[in-house]
Amino acid sequence: GESVGLHLPTLSVQEGDNSIINCAYSNSASDYFIWYKQESGKGPQFIIDIRSNMDKRQGQRVTVLLNKTVKHLSLQIAATQPGDSAVYFCAENSKAGTALIFGKGTTLSVSS
Amino acid sequence: EAQVTQNPRYLITVTGKKLTVTCSQNMNHEYMSWYRQDPGLGLRQIYYSMNVEVTDKGDVPEGYKVSRKEKRNFPLILESPSPNQTSLYFCASSPLIGRRGKAFFGQGTRLTVV
């Protein structure tokens, strides 16, 4: 069945460190993945996406890596800042393309 | 400013009292959807709409209704709320029908049913 999961529920880093948030997915036919950030009291916010014909995509301070061989997705945040503290979700489109299937989320805590 | 607006943000109600949570988007998106977020269960889809007058069930539709009479609005209706519908609700919209769209989410509605 379709499922998207995350390896660790929490991640604590120091300001300035690089953060890596991981996600494993089970549907080998998935062809589009998205990372969302959810700050306390707010809705999920789009960060970056990647299609299955790519291995890597970079944004501003963020990089998403896709390893289709082991069905693994990661989000790398460079020079992590306190404002990056949030819950991060990976998601994929459902097979029918009618829904986003979310993982459980990783809570990133950044200390100064 | 492009946004998805939900109202109310917070609501406490009693079992059985019908309520409606409104959702409006100003981006002319065809696709809209409702999710509920619960601890340990993540975000789960309730209903979605591909376009005006086209709606369908998501993963957890029981106890909910929706309508899509206009492109910009997608209200969530709880005809007879029960305590197990206490949750955080999000409305989302996207510019494409599903596969390549980047969903925009509202700020959420925290519903408590007592």
Interface contacts (A, B; CB < 8 Å): 57
Least Cα separation, residue A42 to chain B (angstroms): 5
pLDDT at B61 over 70: yes
Per-residue pLDDT in tens (0 to 9) along chain A, 112 residues: 345 655 688 999 999 999 999 999 888 888 889 999 999 989 999 999 999 999 999 999 999 999 999 999 999 999 999 999 999 999 987 777 778 888 888 999 999 9
Least Cα separation, residue A93 to chain B (angstroms): 6
Helices within chain B (DSSP H only): none
Task: Compute the C-alpha angle B75/B77/B78, nearest 5°.
Answer: 155
What are residue A75's DSSP bridge partners?
Answer: A21, A64
Note the pLDDT of residue A2. Answer: 42
Burial A9-36 (b: 16+ CB within 10 A, else e): eebebeeeeebebbbbbebeebebbbbb
User: pLDDT tens for residues B4-50?
Assistant: 999 999 999 999 999 999 999 999 999 999 999 998 888 999 999 98
Q: Which residues of A touch B45 (CB under 8 A)?
A: 99-100
* Residues whose CB falls within 8 Å of the CB of residue A46, separated by 6 or more in sequence, listed in order: A34, A35, A36, B102, B103, B104
Q: How far apart are CA B82 and CA B79, in angstroms?
A: 10
* Residues whose CB falls within 8 Å of the CB of residue B68, separated by 6 or more in sequence, listed in order: B32, B49, B51, B52, B53, B54, B55, B74
Q: Please report the residues numbered 62 through 91 in chain B whose beta carbons come closer than 8 angstroms to any beta carbon of chain A.
A: 90
| Residue type at B9 in one-letter notation | R
Considering only CB atoms, B105 lies closest to which of A43, A97, A98, namely: A43
Q: Which residues of A touch B90 (CB under 8 A)?
A: 43-44
Least Cα separation, residue B104 to chain A (angstroms): 7
Instruction: Provide φ and ψ at B56, rounded to 5°.
Output: -155, 160
